[in-house]
Structure 1
Amino acid sequence: MDQSLTSAAGLALQGTFHRMIELSRAEPAPTLQQRLDRLSRLRALLKDNEKRFEQAISADFGHRCTIETTIAETLGLLGDIKHTSKHLKRWMAPRKVATQLQFMPGKNRLLPQPLGVVGVIAPWNYPLQLTLAPAIGALAAGNRVMIKPSELSPNFAALLRETIAAKFDATEMVVTGIEDGIAEAFAALPFDHLMFTGSTRVGRIVASVAGRNLTPVTLELGGKSPTIIDRSADLDEVAPRIAYAKLMNAGQTCIAPDYVLVPHDSLDELTGKISGAMQRMYGSDPANPDYTSIIADHHYARLQSLVEDAAAHGAKLLQPAAADDAAWKSKRKFPPTLVLGATPDMKIMQEEIFGPLLPILGYGTPAEAIAFINGRDRPLALYWFGKDDAARDEVLARTVSGGVTINDCLVHFAQANQPMGGVGPSGSGAYHGEWGFNTFTKLKPVFYRSPYNRFADLQPPYGGKIARVIKMMRLMS
């Protein structure tokens, strides 16, 4: 057995889980009013503690722009709760399904049922949003929820544990597993469903550990999300949208544009416009409160390594200040960096960047850009800019990605009626809105046989009637 499972923290983890499991089996289906009450309490938790969450998250980062926390985390969650509460009655209702002629007047229905206990392993980059967004779907579906925050966000984790304990019984929703080294023990619990958001590398580990219990897993991972600039694009519109999407949260966003593909003859112009947009938005002073710090020293060192490797292989770097400048390092803020001349042998083109570094590459024909994307793992997001509908539709038809925004970046994530999820190495499964409700629900198929249907009476002895029945079945097949 994993030692973490037999530690005091591991035993407490198992005890909490088993209490939830027992109650989920004894009380399997919370009413609409119970679910709405839980969502209402979660909304109150967010509104009552908004400033405290901002402060805790900023403390974990070293500095986190509070406006970004409001826009990307708090407001999105409040909107999710409102949307879910509005539509929950309809989502919970039995769903009609067509019935084949030979079984009528019987009827088919799908009955939405809670799975039981849902585990949520959350990341550090948007700790509030990416913890509670899955929890909203799980609670709406009638489940009990156990949350494992990231070790890199201890201030946030402690505050979340405190505030959830004040609003929820420990058998409804609980924050646990804050201790270092407990992540694998958490993933090893036989949840009815496990949600993990994080890197592809760790996602493989989580899936492997959960697989020992055949636990269904939704993986929200990452990868290298490309941005294609078509010849028909207006570069003055493109540049600030890419700059903002890349530098929001200092690039520590799983769906941030990871690299840009632009026609060769527009490369210099676009580079200049993106550089100018970054300068207008954030300036060159690392003390700018709008610019967020890198979460930890080892992540900062990883970004430095990517830049140094690219430079050593001949790439040109454009920065407002040197990457080793003491003023930037002292605040753990990495200068926005455009990388020109990146090649496939550079580390920056081999791994997800997850920081304020942006390679800009030239391409010849649209087919070459598409081939470049398709030669790599399928990304979590893809962005396309332009006014040529045929070119746009060609990219949509010939590439596969988790989601797409046209003529902007990131915005598909905010669509309450669209699923959020990856494909292949960028993830599996989806959530958000009704998609999240369905992910954490068992849609149980039920057939109600009518007493007026004798067609299905096929018990032996078959006798002569079976030939007639089979003949009719063939006609209906």
Structure 2
Amino acid sequence: MDAFADTPVSDLAPTLQRLRDAWQARKPDYAQRRNDLQRLRNALKRRLDEMADAIAADFGHRSKDESRIADGMTVLNDIDHLLKHLRSWMKPRRVGVGWRFLPARAQVRPVPLGVVGVIAPWNYPVNLALIPLATAIAAGNHVYLKPSEHTPRSSAFLRDLLAEVFPPQRVAVATGGADVGAAFAALPFDHLVFTGSTAVGRKVMAAAAPNLTPLTLELGGKSPAIIADDYPIEKAAARLATGKWFNCGQTCIAPDYVLVPARKRNALVQALRAEVHARFGSDFSNTNDYTRIVNDGQYARLQGYLDDAQQRGIDTITLAGSADPSQRLLPPTLLLEPGDDAKVMQEEIFGPLLPIKRYATLDEAIAYINAHDRPLALYPFSHSKATVEKILHETVAGGVSVNDTLFHFAIGNLPFGGVGASGMGAYHARAGFDAMSKQLPILWQARRTGSDLLKPPYSKAKWLLDLIVR
């Protein structure tokens, strides 16, 4: 299969119509949904090594163990959760009507929407394609997927995998660049899930607006970590290192900057240096565990942040090794006390650069977070419940891991989504199932009911009117 063959824009609308016609003709029941999820799980599990090879080829080098964790384990975990709860989630939920409307009864019934579009990014090309796809399948929909053009081998893998599992009238894949993506976002889907940058998210929302397409936007932004004075610096450094340099920082919920008590900043720098040396050694060219930047454009963008910082006199500290543009190797680098005018503080970093800023009081740190867009993730580090609760009470974020990073994304029972500039709506598990279903309210009226008396002339039912408005 040709990894670089674009889908003609003229094919997009007919493909959507084919998916919709097939869905209308036979809406997936419980047995089909469960069978689809099981077959998808089995196929992906069998082809995990092939998946990791495809992703590594797209990145130039990417740790295959990281691919197995981030693009393998997470998807398998979510499918397992969907399979475990699918039957109960599909059941209508009875709700009370209140005494004024007795003996009627009411229920909320989750019904599938139709065709869900999924636009996936390049940083976790399988995870962020298959989790929303599997959730949409669990909710009884058909799916049209647009993977990223920046990871063509992963896109080809997805196209081949999904063709193995699903008939073409149930799941389709469109490949191509920005023109295909723009036309795809403008299709009249019954729901559209987009994961990517805030800037592109605005364009997707504008493209979907003429059709009033419901959206789940999973965007990004600058996710802060805030280390309280009581928390051990070495442990904070270890968990920050995992969150920041997994996938070389190319993670939408990676810690984007760290706020640390002023007197502990230098200790944090040394602890982070020790973590990098322990994990990757001093020469990154000899390790299989450090991922490269995905393409030349992203490498140039990150190098531009460093150039801007150096021009501004910002202290930059390379923790190990040195950059190698020929490999797109960019080592973990700290930037100390950058101002908000620095480019590295104006956009989501999406790479291995980590700004560190001192604070004098916890209130000062919270005020700094609140002075900026609401982040997709927030990482408070403290053993004091009162401190953590203060941070949670006084900030708003898409999701939180307390005393760790990233892992709230992987918990099946937690919804995942942003707020404001970091996103709209949520998915994963029940939240995703509900978002990709219509929660249909239904009232069942009784054969005999007092509401039959509520008609002119109202004087004949004055006693009933007086009763219900008391």
Instruction: Compute the TM-score of the two structures, normalised by the length of structure 2.
Output: 0.96
Aligned to 1:469: 464
Q: 1:33-72 maps to which residues of 2 (within 5 A)?
A: 33-72=31-70
The one-letter amino acid of 1:142's match is: G
The one-letter amino acid of 2:200's match is: V
Alpha-carbon offset, residue 322 of structure 1: 7.3
Aligned to 2:447: 451
Aligned to 1:103: 101
Q: Tell me, what secondary structure is at the counterpart of 1:181?
A: helix
The one-letter amino acid of 1:200's match is: T
The one-letter amino acid of 2:25's match is: A
Identity of counterpart residues, as a percentage?
46
* 1:313 is aligned to 2:312: yes
The one-letter amino acid of 1:468's match is: W
C-alpha separation in 2, matches of 1:425 and 1:155 = 31
8 Å CA contact retained: 1:119, 1:195? yes
- Given the superposition, is the C-alpha separation of residues 254 and 455 from structure 1 closer, same or farther in structure 2, using an over 3 Å criterion? same
Residue segments in structure 1 that go unaligned for 5+ positions in a row: 1-6
C-alpha separation in 2, matches of 1:456 and 1:361 = 68
**Which residue of 255, 258, 283 maps to 1:257?**
255
Deviation readout 1:218-249 (Å, 9 max, x if unpaired): 00000000000001101121111101110000
**Which residue of 128, 131, 135 maps to 2:129?**
131
8 Å CA contact retained: 1:36, 1:140? yes
Residue segments in structure 2 that go unaligned for 5+ positions in a row: 1-5
Alpha-carbon offset, residue 159 of structure 1: 1.6
Q: Tell me, what secondary structure is at the counterpart of 1:219?
A: strand
Deviation readout 1:282-340 (Å, 9 max, x if unpaired): 123232110001001010011111011112112111104575x4xx2221111110111
The one-letter amino acid of 1:474's match is: V
**Which residue of 135, 141, 163 maps to 1:165?**
163
Q: Tell me, what secondary structure is at the counterpart of 2:358?
A: strand
Aligned to 1:4: none
Q: 1:223-262 maps to which residues of 2 (within 5 A)?
A: 223-262=221-260
Name which of structure 1's ranges 455-464 and 98-107 shifts more when overlaid on structure 2. Answer: 455-464
C-alpha separation in 2, matches of 1:93 and 1:199 = 36
Q: Tell me, what secondary structure is at the counterpart of 2:179?
A: coil
C-alpha separation in 2, matches of 1:358 and 1:336 = 8
Aligned to 1:385: 381
- Kindly report the root-mean-square deviation, in angstroms, between the aligned alpha carbons of the 2 structures: 1.4
Aligned to 2:22: 23
Name which of structure 1's ranges 446-455 and 110-119 shifts more when overlaid on structure 2. Answer: 446-455
The one-letter amino acid of 1:259's match is: Y
**Which residue of 197, 200, 225 maps to 2:198?**
200
8 Å CA contact retained: 2:243, 2:255? yes
Aligned to 2:290: 291
Aligned to 2:396: 400
Alpha-carbon offset, residue 468 of structure 1: 2.3
Instruction: Compute the TM-score of the two structures, normalised by the length of structure 1.
Output: 0.95
- Given the superposition, is the C-alpha separation of residues 406 and 36 from structure 1 closer, same or farther in structure 2, using an over 3 Å criterion? same
- Given the superposition, is the C-alpha separation of residues 241 and 196 from structure 1 closer, same or farther in structure 2, using an over 3 Å criterion? same
* 1:93 is aligned to 2:91: yes
**Which residue of 219, 224, 239 maps to 1:221?**
219
Q: 1:173-184 maps to which residues of 2 (within 5 A)?
A: 173-179=171-177, 181-184=179-182
Name which of structure 1's ranges 189-198 and 265-274 shifts more when overlaid on structure 2. Answer: 265-274
Aligned to 1:303: 302
Q: Tell me, what secondary structure is at the counterpart of 1:361?
A: strand
Aligned to 2:340: 344
Q: Tell me, what secondary structure is at the counterpart of 1:30?
A: coil
C-alpha separation in 1, matches of 2:277 and 2:386 = 34
Q: Tell me, what secondary structure is at the counterpart of 1:450?
A: coil
Deviation readout 1:73-103 (Å, 9 max, x if unpaired): 1011111111111110000000111211111
Aligned to 2:9: 10
Deviation readout 1:434-477 (Å, 9 max, x if unpaired): 11111100010001112242245312232332x322221222xx
C-alpha separation in 1, matches of 2:177 and 2:420 = 30
8 Å CA contact retained: 1:455, 1:469? no
Deviation readout 1:189-237 (Å, 9 max, x if unpaired): 1000000000000000000001111000100000000000001101121
C-alpha separation in 1, matches of 2:160 and 2:73 = 21
- Given the superposition, is the C-alpha separation of residues 358 and 456 from structure 1 closer, same or farther in structure 2, using an over 3 Å criterion? farther
The one-letter amino acid of 1:25's match is: Q
8 Å CA contact retained: 1:102, 1:455? no
Kindly tell me the number of residue pairs found equivalent between the two proteins.
Answer: 464
C-alpha separation in 1, matches of 2:321 and 2:33 = 53
Name which of structure 1's ranges 193-202 and 162-171 shifts more when overlaid on structure 2. Answer: 162-171
C-alpha separation in 1, matches of 2:351 and 2:142 = 35
Q: Tell me, what secondary structure is at the counterpart of 1:266?
A: helix
Name which of structure 1's ranges 399-408 and 235-244 shifts more when overlaid on structure 2. Answer: 235-244
Deviation readout 1:321-372 (Å, 9 max, x if unpaired): 575x4xx222111111011121111111111000000001000111100000
Alpha-carbon offset, residue 8 of structure 1: 7.5
